[in-house]
Chains A and B, each alone.
Chain A
Amino acid sequence: MNQAVISCLHANLPAVEAVLKDIELQGITNITCLGDLVGYGPQPNEVIELIKEKKIATCQGCWDEDVVDGLDACDCSYPSQIAERRGHFAHQWTTEKLTKENKDFLANLPYSIRKDKCLFVHGSPNSQHEYLLPDMDAFAALERVENAKAEILFCGHTHQPYIRELANGSIAVKVKNSGSKDIQKKEMNLPMRRIVNAGSVGEPRHGGTKATYVVYNDITDDVKIREVEYDIELTCKAIINAGLPPIFAWRLKNGFEFAERAEDASHVCER
């Protein structure tokens, strides 16, 4: 059966509505959301209420956590100081706008959702703030899935959708200096695992302007990345009217803003 996985809605209501419509048109009713309902965008309460109304299973994103618990993002989250300042401003704006009820909703979201062999998280099984980028060290990426005892790990947070298959792996080890005369050697085969990044509905950073999400078929194990057009102008106007930094509108309209890309793709966030 097909199921949809969405992430990083970022208070962009027109994008969320367009994606939910696209999902509905395919007859998909099973939807999982990987968090970041709020942040950057102008309609945090509206997006949360829509998710609540549709009863979409959701895990807590980095923004959802920070809006409730205070800023926890390590410096790696921001590529420059100006980006960090803008981020902090959006954080404060969102905190002020959210109703108490919606803050409570975000506070009570689970870190992860497990369904059979699939694990759904926002950043990584370690933290909502860790980026699993597509070119992350392959062994470290495999470790994240294996340690979480999953076969397919669904994540978001990078805003770049991808499907990564890690296969045909092996590690050979040798025990040195064990005291026994024979050198102990072992070779282990590593299991095949996949990481699926659902991209971003409300704040795409994949180079285009369309909202992205993924459709997973749990029978064939097939994953497809979907791109959906939405009324960008509407969101941009709402960003300006809300007094949020105009660059948030600019980058939605123009697609990828290169300056906002995390600089070190191999960085392993310790949080």
Chain B
Amino acid sequence: MIERWALISGLKGDLDTYELIQKDLKKTPGNITLFVLGDMIGPEKNCNKLLHRLINPKSNDLQPWCIYGWWEEQILLESGYRGNQRAEALRINKGEEVVKSLINAVDKSFLDWIAALQFGFVELDCGLIHGSSKDVGDDLTLDTPPLTLLDRLTRLQVNRLFTARSTQQFHLELTEGILNSEVHDLTGNHKKEQKVPQKAVIGVGAGKNYTLYDVGTDNTQFVRAGYQSEKKKNGFGLHF
């Protein structure tokens, strides 16, 4: 059977969207693994029901594999899980009200579960992470300099990096790269030509927008939750 990954992020407590995605995935052919790349929580909505569902999937749910995201990092900071640091960046940028809303949106009993989440997964030669291995808040987009993208791939030692922080959906392939390096040291001169093998960075989207990845063919499909059922005739594989 075809192996597919479903990559979602940025639910921010939205259980309805999660249920819609679960429903979509039941109709999607293939052997599907569901990855949730962080931002399960946010300040806008009460997140307890979604968190409960992620931790205790219904019997017919696809098992979600979760990592933490930027909003999870903020609540962990603010709740004292990072030593003396607090969510100062959030406080300065969005104000005290948002910090309070975030704290109120998540029951304390979920904090240990959030704190135990992994920073990212490495599956095959792919890295799945909220931002990048440099930072959970690393905002990678189509406009990020390719040299920066290459650095983020190198840090994780992967050929494909799935990222969610920017909330955008994109699939950028680094098809070719070359760089001459000449090192002069006390032993003499050393020249080297370095080439990049094909690599890619994939933005998986957020909320209702998620990504299906076909592991065998390396193809992505950008999907909007509920869209497939609305347009049944067109079936699977619509590009959004």
The answer to whether A binds B is: yes
Name B's interface SS: strand
Which parts of B16-50 form the interface with A (CB within 8 Å)?
none
Q: In chain B, what residue has the closest Cβ to A183?
A: B173
Which parts of A173-196 form the interface with B (CB within 8 Å)?
173-179, 185, 187-188, 190
Inter-subunit contact B148/A143 (CB<8 Å) = yes
Q: Does A110 contact B (CB under 8 A)?
A: no
Q: Which of A147, A170, A173, A207 contacts B186 (CB 8 A)?
A: A207
- Give the distance to chain B from A187, nearest Cβ to Cβ, in Å: 8
Inter-subunit contact B154/A171 (CB<8 Å) = no
Size class of the B contact interface (CB-based, 8 Å):
35 or more
Inter-subunit contact B183/A173 (CB<8 Å) = no
Q: In chain A, what residue has the closest Cβ to B155?
A: A268
Residues on A with C-beta less than 8 A from B196 are 139, 171
Q: Does B167 contact A (CB under 8 A)?
A: no
- Give the distance to chain B from A207, nearest Cβ to Cβ, in Å: 7
Q: Does B62 contact A (CB under 8 A)?
A: no
- Give the distance to chain A from B212, nearest Cβ to Cβ, in Å: 11
Distance A206 CA – B178 CA, assembled complex (angstroms): 29
Residues on B with C-beta less than 8 A from A165 are 180-182, 184
On whether A138 and B181 interact (CB within 8 A), knowing A143-B148, A173-B174, the answer reads: yes
Q: Does A87 contact B (CB under 8 A)?
A: no
Chain A residues at the B interface, C-beta cutoff of 8 Å? 134-135, 137-143, 146-147, 160-179, 185, 187-188, 190, 206-208, 212, 225, 227, 268, 270
Chain B residues at the A interface, C-beta cutoff of 8 Å? 133-134, 142, 145-148, 150-151, 154-155, 170-187, 190, 192, 194, 196, 200, 219-222, 239-240
6 cross-chain pairs, A with B, having the tightest CB-CB distances, nearest first: A169-B179, A143-B151, A162-B185, A172-B176, A176-B171, A138-B181
20 additional A-B residue pairs with CB within 8 Å, beyond A139-B196, A177-B222, A268-B155: A138-B179, A138-B194, A139-B151, A161-B185, A162-B185, A166-B179, A166-B180, A169-B180, A171-B146, A171-B177, A172-B175, A174-B173, A176-B173, A177-B219, A177-B239, A178-B170, A185-B175, A187-B176, A206-B185, A270-B133
The contact sample of 30 A-B pairs, CB cut-off 8 A, is: A134-B185, A134-B190, A137-B154, A139-B147, A139-B154, A140-B155, A141-B181, A143-B148, A143-B150, A143-B151, A147-B148, A162-B183, A162-B184, A165-B182, A166-B179, A166-B180, A167-B180, A168-B180, A169-B177, A170-B176, A170-B178, A173-B175, A175-B171, A175-B173, A176-B200, A177-B170, A190-B147, A225-B185, A268-B155, A270-B133
